[in-house]
Chains A and B, each alone.
Chain A
Amino acid sequence: MPSGGVSPTSSQDADPASPRPASVSMPGVVLLPVPEPRLGLQPLRSAVLAVASPLAALAITVVVGAVLFTAMGKSAGTGLAMFFVEPLRGARGLSELAVKATPLALIALGLSVSFRANIWNIGAEGQFIAGAIAATAVAMRAGPETSHAVVVPIVLAGLGGGMAWGALTAWLRDRFNASEILVSLMLVYVAEMLLGYLTYGPWKDPEGFNFPQTATFAEATEIPKLAAGHRANVGLLIALAAAPVGWLFLSRTYAGFQLVVCGAAPSAARFAGFSARRGLWTALLVSGGLAGLAGALEVAGPLGQLTPHLPVGYGFAAIIVAFVGRLHPLGVLLSSVLMSVFYIGGELAQSRMGLPSALTGVFQGLLLFALLGSDAWVARVRGPNR
């Protein structure tokens, strides 16, 4: 497995006799002059097409969904309504959408930065867990007397925990050139085991009849809600604020520019003196930190305690969210809402229409496939010189 990005310790430039052609070290990267339509990074001729492609993918998914419903003997109209319309109904619907979309958006924001730098952080789920664990460590110390301000250190702890877990991958990649794809993925399993160990062992609630869970956190630790009676909390605001910050970072700051160039054209970046190592660490710290933040918000928000059931796959779903959002921070916001609609729609389709719960997974995978296909198709159709 080749490294997913430029290795700063690579001696390939120092060794001119290397069997490798100097221009190619990265998978799937557009290097001059190899023509390759780069998913999400190719500045398509018109912005219209940049948006059209995901919409086309969505349309394909909807059509296939309708066919699926009919094949299962259900009304296609009701099925599609259940999936796409019901979740948006009413204040409660929107609030639940926010609860679901916030972690997805945060993680996907981080991933979009990471993927732009061509660092394939597949282990966001592990960073999510690590952030939740760190946040729990702080939250467990809160008692009935603690002020609400404890929320701040909890959230910061989550950020730090996720960053630390991401840093682990970055360090192994930096120092030993180990593929960040595999390392980050293996660390997901390690994080899950660590979560299990803590909830079954040292952090288990002594009043909890030996069930694997921490004690419920004190009232003060709860992430402030946006409106009474609904579950949406300030996490939504954080996500909404982080997106433009992310966009500004990538498109308007020098550091962000360096990151993007390192990802898109590593040889040019090296020539310009941009540090690939800095790109690697930035990518993993940012994506790890945001994933950890999402974990903290989840554990101190809707959950209120740490259990082994914390990880539900947000880290992996966020990969799809990032791609469908074209690795653009603002696009990611929209696609995270779309993905939440799928999740909730799938639940509703199950409870109200008797459809299997796995339908959500099918739609998600289908969306990504359709997106890749329509992207490639659009690139071919349009071509670069029209």
Chain B
Amino acid sequence: MQRMPQMMLPKPAQPSKPAQPRTTAPPRTTTRPRWKALSVATRAVVGGTVALTLLGGAVARTSRAAEPKPPAAPPSGAAAFGKTAPLKIAFAYVGPVGDAGWTYAHDKARRAVEAEYGAKVVTSFVENVPEAADAERVIRDMVSQGNTLIFGTTFGYMTPMMKVAKDMKDVKFEHATGYKTAANLRTYDARTYEGAYLAGVIAGGMTKSNILGVVGSIPIPEVIRNIDSFTLGAQSVNPKIQTRVVWVNKWFDPPKESEGAQALLNDGADVLMQNTDSSAVLQAAEKAGKFGFGWDSDMKKFGPNAHLGSAIIDWAPYYKKAVGEALAGTWKTGQTWWGLKEGAIDLVSISSKVPEALKQKVETIKKGLRDGTFAVWKGPIVDQAGKELLKPGQVADDKFLHGINFYVKGVTGKPPKGP
């Protein structure tokens, strides 16, 4: 057996001392048998690790649904205005393309752009870009690779994009869900609250316990607005409902989302809604034999019995427009907020379990949204204390909508507060 490194044992020939609490090993007379065993062990460890990694590689390869196209060999950045050189577009995603939710929706729209413009564009993406200091490096690298139109698909990229936009004046930046703009950076967003309202209409009609549950992600105005809109929609068909909310404080954390959903179900909710990016809540509803919705993307396949409808975002119309403008040279800064009217929002795959009358109501509302006669946030709307927020007939403007950090009547609890 091995000898101690230089410290303690006097001579190599020292025999074991049984009186000591720990006995020493007798000297080795030969190293060969041990060598062999060790080599085997070492080989086993290394071989095992290699095998595991190979297996992982093979699994990853077969399991990847779609390989993204690597961008063409990087030309210099000045190809933006050339007629023959394709427009290079890059997308920065906060999550994995396979989240079947937020990022998946963006990627779907990216592929629609490719289909629409064909050889005129070359797209690429980077997924799992954290909303932190690293984002700036990724975006700068995208620019250095010759991309002249860059989409940042989450709020947290705002500061990095602004910094890069300041330095790279001939690159155009599109920032989702942000609020800062520059000459070469504009923002875009979708009126997700319209989809939430439509889902609420169905929820209100389908609930038996009159308790609705929402698994909230991060308590920003958009999400609070969605919770309120969901409640308003439900109240329009069933004034008795009550909405309960739990917060997982993440956009994407399926195990936590499951647990939050379970807690809501345990407390009596029989229709669930979420603002998180995975299908975990719908699946929890499915397991419990209750109802749920899909969010951001069509999630019907994740809970065929529970699924009542999916409030989806379709970024394709906007992306096509943006790319078209970039190609035609008519790209201008601004702030865009599209809803059902422009084709950015919809409630799809409405279940056959939903009664016809309710479906009709949803269709009527959609028609009203399209032709501008219907508004989700139209008074009278009161807050939890009963104070009137919107007078009867008063329609909220975008400024009001952006500042929503309160719950409407019918929602239990208080939203996490700001200063």
Whether chain B is bound by chain A comes out as yes
Docked complex: B279-336 residues within 8 A CB-CB of A: none
Q: Which of A33, A312, A350 contacts B8 (CB 8 A)?
A: A33
Chain A: CB-nearest residue to B179: A209
Q: A384 near B4 (CB under 8 angstroms)? A: yes
A146 within 8 A of B: no
* Shortest CB distance A294–B (Å): 12
Asked whether B393 is an interface residue with its Cβ less than 8 Å from the other chain, the reply is: no
A125 within 8 A of B: no
Query: Which B residues, 230 to 287, have Cβ-Cβ distances below 8 Å to chain A?
Result: 249
CA separation between A71 and B61, bound complex, in Å?
7
B85 on interface, CB distance cutoff 8 Å: no
Please, which residue of chain B has its CB at the minimum distance from the CB of A71?
B57
Q: List 7 A-B contacts (CB under 8 A).
A: A31-B22, A34-B4, A204-B418, A209-B402, A351-B90, A358-B128, A376-B42
User: Is A312 touching B53 in the complex (CB atoms < 8 A)?
Assistant: no
Q: Is B24 part of the binding interface, using a Cβ–Cβ cutoff of 8 Å?
A: yes
Q: Is the interface of B mostly helix, strand, loop or mixed?
A: loop
Interface residue from A68, A362, A383 paired with B2 (Cβ < 8 Å): A383
Q: Is A189 an interface residue (CB 8 A)?
A: no
Residues of chain A within 8 A of B53, CB atoms compared: 64, 67-68, 362, 366
Question: For window 19-77 of chain B, which residues contact chain A by CB distance below 8 Å?
Answer: 20-25, 31, 38, 42, 45-46, 49-50, 53-54, 56-58, 60-61, 64, 67-71
Which of A20-28, A104-112, A250-258 is the contact stretch? A20-28
Kindly state the separation between the CA atoms of A91 and B327 in the bound complex, as whole angstroms: 33
Q: Which 7 A-B pairs have the closest CB atoms?
A: A71-B57, A302-B133, A32-B8, A21-B21, A384-B5, A351-B126, A357-B128
Once A202-B419, A307-B132 are accepted as A-B contacts, the answer to whether A209 and B69 lie under 8 Å apart by CB is no
State whether the Cβ of B12 lies closer than 8 Å to any Cβ in chain A. yes
Picked from A312, A351, A369, A380, the residue with its CB within 8 Å of the CB of B130 is A312
What residues of chain B lie closer than 8 Å to A204, measured between beta carbons? 418-419
B124-A68 in contact (CB<8A) = no
**Contact-size category for A:** 35 or more
Least CB distance from A353 to B in Å reads 6
Question: Does A99 count as interface, using CB distance less than 8 angstroms?
Answer: yes
Chain A residues, CB < 8 A from B23: 33
Partner of A33, one of B4, B54, B71, B132: B4
Contact status B46-A60, CB under 8 Å:
yes
A273 within 8 A of B: no
Q: Beta-carbon contacts of A84-114 to B below 8 Å, as 1s and 0s?
A: 0000000010001001000000000000000
Interface flag for A35 (CB, 8 Å): yes
- The verdict on A351 contacting B124 (CB below 8 Å), with A43-B6, A200-B416 known, is yes
B22 and A34 contacting across the interface, CB-CB below 8 Å: yes
Let me know if B127 is at the binding interface, CB within 8 A: yes
A366 and B2 form a contact (CB under 8 A)? no
Q: B126 contacts A92, CB within 8 Å?
A: no
> In the bound complex, how far is the Cα of B58 from the Cα of A68, in angstroms?
8
Interchain CA distance A203-B417 in the complex, whole Å = 11
Q: Mark B211-235, 1 if CB is under 8 A from A, else 0.
A: 0000000111100100000000000
> A350-B126, A352-B71 known; A380 and B142 CB under 8 Å?
no
- Partner among B22, B61, B64, B70 whose Cβ is within 8 Å of the Cβ of A353: B70
> Would you call A356 an interface residue if the criterion is a C-beta within 8 Å of the partner chain's C-beta atoms?
yes
Most chain A beta carbons < 10 A, residue from B8, B130, B144, B221: B8
Asked if residues A68 and B132 are in contact (CB atoms below 8 Å), the reply is no
Query: With A67-B50, A353-B70 in contact, is A33–B5 under 8 Å at CB?
Result: no
Closest-by-CB residue of B relative to A200 is B416
> Which of A21, A24, A211, A265 has the most chain B CB within a 10 Å cutoff?
A211
Closest-CB distance, A107 to chain B (whole angstroms): 15
Contact B132 A303 (CB under 8 A): yes
Contact A304 B159 (CB under 8 A): yes
B130 near A309: Cβ-Cβ < 8 Å: yes
Q: B21 contacts which chain A residues (CB < 8 A)?
A: 21-24
- Contacts between chains A and B (CB distance < 8 A), count: 180
**Minimal Cβ-Cβ distance residue in B for A33:** B24
CB-CB contacts of A27-41 with B at 8 A, as 1s and 0s?
000111111010000
Known pairs A24-B21, A350-B127; list 20 more (Cβ under 8 Å): A24-B22, A33-B4, A33-B8, A35-B1, A35-B3, A35-B4, A35-B5, A37-B2, A67-B53, A71-B54, A196-B249, A200-B249, A350-B128, A351-B125, A357-B127, A358-B128, A373-B46, A377-B38, A377-B42, A380-B38
Instruction: Say yes or no: A312 contacts B132, CB within 8 Å.
Output: yes
Bound Cα distance from A312 to B137, whole angstroms: 15
CB distance from A376 to the nearest CB of B (A): 8
Bound state CA distance, A37 and B38, in angstroms? Answer: 14
**Taking the complex as formed, is A348 at the interface, i.e. its CB lies under 8 A from any CB of chain B?**
yes
**Given A347-B126, A351-B138, A362-B56; A43-B159 close (CB under 8 Å):** no
Chain B residues near A379 (CB-CB < 8 A): 2
B405 close to A (CB within 8 Å): yes
Q: In the assembled complex, which residues on chain B have CB atoms less than 8 Å from the CB atom of A380?
A: 2, 38, 42
Is there contact, CB below 8 Å, between B220 and A210?
yes
On whether the beta carbons of A68 and B54 are closer than 8 Å, the reply is yes
Contact A384 B131 (CB under 8 A): no
Any A CB within 8 A of the CB of B207: no
Q: Which residues of B contact A304 (CB under 8 A)?
A: 159
Contact of A351 among B4, B25, B141, B417 (CB under 8 A): B141
Tell me if A210 and B418 are in contact (CB < 8 A): yes
Chain A nearest Cβ from B412, distance in angstroms: 19
Contact assessment for B145 and A351 in the assembled complex, using a CB-CB cutoff below 8 Å: yes
Give min CB distance, A251 to chain B, whole Å: 17
Decide if A67 touches B155 in the complex (CB within 8 Å).
no
B residues 109-131 touching A (CB-CB < 8 Å): 124-128, 130-131
Which B residues touch A353, using CB under 8 A? 70
A49 within 8 A of partner (CB):
no
- For the complex, what is the distance from the CA of A43 to the CA of B23, rounded to whole Å? 22
Confirm or deny: A7 has a beta carbon within 8 angstroms of a beta carbon on chain B: no
Which residues of A are found within 8 Å of B137, using beta-carbon distances? 96, 99, 231, 344, 347
Q: Which residues of B contact A282 (CB under 8 A)?
A: none
Interface flag for B182 (CB, 8 Å): no
Q: Which residues of A contact B249 (CB under 8 A)?
A: 196, 200, 308
A212 & B49 in contact (Cβ 8 Å cutoff): no
A42 at the interface (CB under 8 A from B): yes
**How far in angstroms is the closest Cβ of chain A from B374?**
26
Q: Which residues of B contact A384 (CB under 8 A)?
A: 2-6
A31 and B417 CA atoms in complex are apart in Å by 55
Q: Judge whether B156 is part of the interface by a CB distance below 8 angstroms.
A: yes
How far, in Å, is A349 (CB) from chain B's closest CB? 10
Q: What is the CA–CA distance of A344 and B21 in the complex, to the nearest angstrom?
A: 51
Q: Chain A residues with Cβ under 8 A from B167's Cβ?
A: 229
B224 cross-chain contacts in A, Cβ below 8 A: 210
List residues of chain B with CB within 8 A of the CB of A203.
Answer: 419
Nearest neighbor of A303 in chain B, beta-carbon distance: B133
Task: Find chain B residues with CB under 8 A from A216 CB.
Answer: 159
* B194 CB within 8 Å of chain A: no
User: Chain B residues with Cβ under 8 A from A310's Cβ?
Assistant: 132
Q: Which residue of B is nearest A353, CB measured? A: B70
Chain A nearest CB, measured from B120 CB (Å)? 21
Mark A333-375 against chain B: 1 for CB-CB distance below 8 A, else 0.
0000000000010011011111011100010001001100100
Whether A385 contacts B3 by the Cβ 8 Å rule is: yes
